[in-house]
Structure 1
Amino acid sequence: MTTQVGCSSCLNTDCLIKKNITSEIMQELALAKNTIICKKNQQFILEGTPINGLFFVYKGKAKVLKTGIYGREQILRFVKDGEIIGHRGFGIQKNYSIGASTLEDTILCNFSNETLNEMLHKIPSLTLDFMKFYAEELNRSESKVKTIAQMTVREKVVDTLLYIHRKFGVNHKEFLNIQLKRKEIADFAGTTDEQVIRTISALKKEGLLTIQGKKIGIPNLNLLRKEISEHNYFLDS
């Protein structure tokens, strides 16, 4: 389903397009974008399909994933309002090397390759912002690979829960502001569903987590952070 939402009225101040919307050229080019409304669990990027520009999350939540060995999904990251999806292959590949699907009803802004290339050629401030964004992404990716390789299963699960907390925050009942399946937690942490279930159960018994169905709460952030303090949990924000 498609509709149209304007960049000028967008509240996502961290969005690279929104940050540069004061440019008259940007305002003109932004009119060329497509707005896509997706239902929960809808896949909007299929791994291996031709690249059709970049997606920016106008409102909602999604996961970015890649098919690993034996066809198992590996969740690379979760995304929220104002964040970019599909940037790793932009300009250098013909097909998406990742897939992406929504975690709730989500509104996406899609800019074609042609529109983005024109923006980057005509708006230096946007080009600079993209360069900084890619540098930060590379730094986070390298740090995560190094850290995860040194973690135990328990530490991987704790790191994932802290990442989700930093990314999405908590709701009015102090539970993480997103409900994920245990499999999704496992696919991001790089472990199995069974290990996630056992670890979460152990953390609950120790008072480090509160659980209500799929809802997960962290009663004391500092105590949970101590579990992985030697790995610099804050690297992947």
Structure 2
Amino acid sequence: MKTILENDNDFFCDIQAPCFQQLSPEEIEFIGNSKTQVLFRKGENLTKQGAFASYVLFLVSGIAKQYVEGDAGKSYNLRMVIPGEFVGLTSVFTHKPYNYSTIALTDVQAFLVDNNSLLKVAQNNGNFAIGIIKRYSLQNNGLFDNIRTLMYKQMNGRMAEVLLYIDGIKVEGIDIFAQLSRKEIAEFAGISTENAVKILKSFEKDNLIKLEDKTITILNSNHLAEISKHG
């Protein structure tokens, strides 16, 4: 992790997110004084499960993966994090350790904002607080969707849903699939790598996708959506 200073070429002056547009000039200055811009290299952790959560991250560029670490080296991937999204919003209200890890899949630039500062602004600015709560709620909804998928869908349905989810993530200049190993894709679906590879090959045989090295091209999203729905 490298701190980016104001005289660096990669420095960004402002946090560009709709909720921050609700702040007064004084609040913007207050948040600005409590934030640090950093560069995470590919493979570095943005957050570590079990570590004390003293800040919230806002991604400026790059992509990251948020996941839960289990026993015996097993993990379950929760979501992809892209520019314009927050990591660690729970720490604003609970001040507990991170209950997940987040790792950079590419080089990532982010703002680290002290969670006590965000809480203080939220307590005094209702519109800003609503914006933060909406983002937190959307993340929670995604987690509940993950639980439903794991509980009720078979492996083919899970894999179809994961492929459509990843394909729907658009970040300029980045091929999302190329950043993920087959093991990581399997961990999004909650299945073994071996089963993930078998299902991907069967999808390719059915002309639903095209496999080329790490890249996956969706050829028939409608059919995948049907498999996801009835899987």
TM-score range, shorter chain: 0.7 to 0.9
Contact 1:20 1:26 in 2 (8 A): no
Shift of 1:144: 2.9
* Cα pair distance change 1:28/1:176, threshold 3 Å: closer
Which residue number corresponds to residue 200 of structure 2? 200
Which residue number corresponds to residue 94 of structure 1? 96
Contact 1:60 1:81 in 2 (8 A): yes
CA distance in structure 2 between the partners assigned to 1:61 and 1:216 by the alignment? 18
* Cα pair distance change 1:91/1:169, threshold 3 Å: closer
Of the structure 1 ranges 118-127 and 79-88, higher mean CA displacement relative to structure 2 is found in 118-127
Which of 89, 105, 108 lines up with 1:106 in the alignment? 108
Which residue number corresponds to residue 8 of structure 2? none
Which residue number corresponds to residue 58 of structure 2? 56
* Cα pair distance change 1:95/1:158, threshold 3 Å: same
- Matched letter for residue 58 of structure 2: F
CA distance in structure 1 between the partners assigned to 2:127 and 2:26 by the alignment? 12
Aligned residues: 224
CA distance in structure 2 between the partners assigned to 1:27 and 1:60 by the alignment? 24
Q: How does 1:130-209 map to 2 (within 5 A)?
A: 130-168=132-170, 178-209=178-209
CA distance in structure 2 between the partners assigned to 1:93 and 1:70 by the alignment? 28
Shift of 1:168: 2.8
SS at match of 2:191: coil
- 4+ residue runs over 6 A deviation: 169-172
For residues 6-33 of structure 1, give each alpha carbon's deviation from its aligned partner in whole angstroms, at most 9, with x where no partner exists. 453x5x545x33x435x21332123221
Contact 1:171 1:177 in 2 (8 A): no
Shift of 1:142: 2.1
Q: How does 1:51-90 map to 2 (within 5 A)?
A: 51-90=53-92
SS at match of 2:46: strand
For residues 135-170 of structure 1, give each alpha carbon's deviation from its aligned partner in whole angstroms, at most 9, with x where no partner exists. 333333223312331111111111111011112379
For residues 165-210 of structure 1, give each alpha carbon's deviation from its aligned partner in whole angstroms, at most 9, with x where no partner exists. 11237979xx656531011111111111101111111111111001
Q: TM-score, with normalisation over the residues of structure 1?
A: 0.85
Q: How does 1:42-53 map to 2 (within 5 A)?
A: 42-53=44-55
Of the structure 1 ranges 153-162 and 25-34, higher mean CA displacement relative to structure 2 is found in 25-34
Of the structure 1 ranges 192-201 and 109-118, higher mean CA displacement relative to structure 2 is found in 109-118
Structure 1 unaligned spans of 5+: 232-237
SS at match of 2:169: helix
Structure 2 unaligned spans of 5+: 6-10
* Cα pair distance change 1:13/1:177, threshold 3 Å: farther
CA distance in structure 2 between the partners assigned to 1:146 and 1:127 by the alignment? 29
* Cα pair distance change 1:171/1:50, threshold 3 Å: closer
Which residue number corresponds to residue 222 of structure 1? 222
> What fraction of aligned residue pairs are identical, expressed as a percent?
23
Shift of 1:65: 1.3
How big is the alpha-carbon RMSD for the aligned residues of Structure 1 and Structure 2?
Answer: 2.3
Which of 105, 122, 136 lines up with 2:124 in the alignment? 122
* Cα pair distance change 1:228/1:218, threshold 3 Å: same
